[in-house]
Amino acid sequence: MIIFVGGMIGAGKSTIAKGLAKSLCFPYYDVDEIKKVVYRKDANYDKNMREGITFSDELRYEVYDLVSKDLQALVKTEPHIVVDETLHKRDTRHALYDEAQRLAGGFIVVWVHADEELILQRLGSQKREGHILDNPLPMHQMLRDEFEPYQRCIIDCPNNGASDETIADLVNLIDNIAILSVGKHDRR
Residue pair 35/83 in contact (Cβ under 8 Å)? The answer is: no
Alpha-carbon gap, residue 41 to 59, rounded angstroms: 9
pLDDT of 186 over the 70 cut:
no
pLDDT of 143 over the 80 cut:
yes
Predicted pLDDT of residue 188? 30
Domain 2-178 has CATH 3.40.50.300: yes
* Domain residue spans of the chain: 2-178
pLDDT band of residue 167 (cuts 50, 70, 90) is very high
> Strand (E) positions, the chain?
2-7, 28-30, 81-84, 107-113, 155-158
* pLDDT above 70 as % of the chain: 88
Q: Which residues of 146-174 are buried (b: 16+ CB within 10 A; e: fewer)?
A: eeeeeeeeebebebeeeeeebbeebeeeb
pLDDT of 185 over the 50 cut:
no
Q: Which tens digit of pLDDT belongs to each residue from 83-118? A: 999 998 999 999 999 999 999 988 999 999 999 999
Coil/strand/helix, residue 154:
coil
- Nearest alpha carbon to residue 119 among 2, 5, 7: 7
pLDDT band of residue 182 (cuts 50, 70, 90) is very low
pLDDT of 130 over the 50 cut:
yes
